[in-house]
Amino acid sequence: MTLDQENQIEWGRTAGIDVSLYDDPNKFDANQMREIRLGLLSGADVSVYADPKYNGKQMKEIRLGLITKLDVTKYADPMYNWEQMLQIRSGLARRVDITRFTDPKLDADQMRYIRLTLENSVLSFRLNLVRERMPEGA
């Protein structure tokens, strides 16, 4: 067990959380332990991601989605790397049509480009609606 792993377990015990969900150093590295510990501290359902098939960065993206009440089932899949998960999570948070960029064959930069294009389209549409409703000369 590494010092980082020991620290994650000790910090969890000190906080009064059930460390048995992540205290196996042969199953989780320190980064994974950290994300599970932080999820437990925030009240997230860590069972969604407390699985060694996810690395620490993937776990973080799932944890952030859970604590912001997003539908993480759309991206909690090890076929996505953490950067792809970030783009899907960002799309969900901004309420764009994520089906346009959830193909795991797309890299994160491609996903980001599509997401930003969709976000700009939504913003332009909303701005035009506001302009149409404004009285003349306002």
What integer best gives the mean pLDDT of the chain? 92
pTM of the model: 0.86
Q: Which residues of 87-105 are buried (b: 16+ CB within 10 A; e: fewer)?
A: bbbbbbeeebebeebbeee
Q: How confident is the model at residue 135 (pLDDT cuts 50, 70, 90)?
A: confident
Residue 66: C-alpha distances to residues 38, 55, 75, 87, 131 (Å):
12, 17, 11, 15, 36
Per-residue model confidence as pLDDT tens digits over 87-113: 999 999 999 999 999 999 999 999 999
CA distances from 30 to 18, 21, 48, 128 (A): 16, 13, 18, 49
- 110 token code pair: 């491609």
Q: Cα–Cα distances in Å, from 79 out to 53, 75, 83?
A: 10, 9, 12
Is there a contact between 131 and 117 (Cβ–Cβ < 8 Å)?
Answer: no
What share of the chain has pLDDT > 70, as a percent?
Answer: 89
